[in-house]
Amino acid sequence: MASEAAYRTNVWVDWCPACGNFGILAAMQKALAELKIPPEKVVDISGIGCSGKTSHFLNVNGVHNLHGRSIPYAEGIKLANPDLTVIVNGGDGDLLGIGMAHFVALGRRNLDIKVIIHDNQVYGLTKGQASPTLRVGQKVKSMPLPNMQDWVNPITVALASGYTFVARAYALWVDDLKEILKMAIRHRGAAVIDVLQPCPTWNNIYTPDFYKQKLYRLDSDKGWDPFVKSPDPKEAAEKLSRAFERAQEWGERIPIGIFYVNPYVESFADNVSKVNTFYESMPPAKNVIAREDGTPVIDLQAMRSMFRDYIIEVSRNNRRQAQSQ
């Protein structure tokens, strides 16, 4: 069994001491090790900010890209090579601010990509401005004035967007997070895990003490069942409604755990396969595009056949007429 160490690089982890990101990184390494996914088959995609560096600390393929654009990179990689396990690690500002359009679009596509939101309510690397998950009126220590904009709730946005695996975890409860991660990776479809993480440097509201007091596990309620178990749309609708209701809870008690899982929704790749006959057996990354002599696999004859609607044979009569002149 591959050990977690196999998923570590020798790049020094330069997050602040006690940063919640350490928990996320550890959970990632443990989950991948336990699932025994070879590092070369995994792609970690990250955007800008502290969370963006995650890719460099993981011994898997890493694509540390632009602010807010991790999801498009992930989509291109996954669609081109469906064999890869594709995980996005992005900040709350990255995914829910500048990258929100992509976040919503991935949900409606239900493509098999796992999105981990590093949710610490602040922009850390730019010194503590409010992120889209900080509530209106709240003021963390680096802000001169209280927040004038209200939050977006990552769980309700994810549910409304069509994600078929929606969960919340806490970065410092690494084993819980690891288990949720494993389930998300095994799930076939778009998954979101909103990971609450303390930012010891900038966020003096959502501290470990705060979370210790407020967090409770959804599955501590024996009747909580977020898993859709049949293709019946009624069941999905009911469970989705309950998830929405529970997702409103944010105050004295904050739920973590799994809100909603529906394995019966077709993924984007399924829909591509329906119209693209050869996609499943020959996705783009498995195409051979040239012959041994270097010429394209599509030769003149194949081209004539593919584009026959655009190729017009000059009538024989006319050719004869032209030649006789």
Partner 1 sequence: MALKEVHLILGGPQGAGVETTASVLTASLAELGYGVMSDREYYSNIVGRHSYVHFTVSATSFPRSLTYPVELMGAMDAESVFTHFHEVAEGGVLVYDTGLEASRLMQVVSMEPEVRARVEARLKAYGVEPTVAGAVRAAKEGLKALPVGLDYKGVLEEARQKLGVTSVEVQRYRNSILLGAAAAVLGLDPDALREGLAVRFRGNKKVIEANMVVVELAMDSVPGAARGAARLEPSSLDVEEMLSASGNDVVGMAKIVGGVRYQAYYPITPASDESVFIEAHQSISVDGKPVGSIVVFQTEDEIAAVNSAIGAALTGVRAATATSGPGFSLMVEGLGWAGHNEVPLLITLYQRGGPSTGQPTRGEQGDLLFSLFASHGEFPRIVITSGDIEEVFYDTIKALNWAERFQVPVIHLLDKYMANVIASMRVPDPSAVKVERGKLVLKASGPAKRFDLSEAISPRPAIGSGAITWYTGDEHDEWGHISEDPINRVRMYDKRMRKLEIMDQEIPPEERAVYYGNGDVDFLLVGWGFVKGVALDALEELRAQGYHGAYLHLKVFSPFPSRYVSAILSKFSPSRVIDVEHNYLGQAAMAVRMYTGYEISRFVLKYTGRPIYRMELVDAVKRILEGKSTREVLTYGE
Using CB under 8 A as the binding rule, the residues of this chain from 256 to 285 that contact partner 1 are 272, 275-279, 281-285
Binding segment for partner 1 among 20-28, 99-107, 177-185, 245-253 (CB under 8 A)?
Answer: 99-107
Q: Tell the smallest beta-carbon distance from residue 4 to partner 1 (Å).
A: 16
Question: Does 322 participate in binding partner 1 (rule CB under 8 A)?
Answer: yes
Q: Does 298 bind partner 1 (CB under 8 A)?
A: yes
Pick the binder of partner 1 from 69, 135, 139, 188 (CB under 8 A): 69
Query: Counting contacts by CB under 8 A, is residue 306 touching partner 1?
Result: yes
Cβ–Cβ under 8 Å, residues 161 and 173: no
Q: At a CB cut-off of 8 Å and minimum separation 6, what does 158 contact?
A: 103, 107, 166, 192, 194
In the list 43, 50, 155, 166, the residue contacting partner 1 (rule: CB under 8 A) is 43
For position 53 contacting partner 1 by CB under 8 A, the verdict is yes
Instruction: Provide the token pair at 1.
Output: 């069994």
Distance CA 236, CA 18 (A): 39
Phi/psi at 122 (nearest 5 deg)? Answer: -140, 160
How buried is residue 205: exposed, middle or buried, by Cβ count under 10 Å (0-12/13-18/19+)?
middle
Give me the least distance between CB of 42 and partner 1, in Å please: 9
Q: Should residue 5 be labelled a site residue for partner 1 when binding is judged by CB under 8 A?
A: no
* Residue 9 binding partner 1, by CB under 8 A: yes
Residue 244 contacts by C-beta under 8 Å, 6 or more apart in sequence? 156, 159
Which of 15, 22, 73, 165 binds partner 1 (CB under 8 A)? It is 73
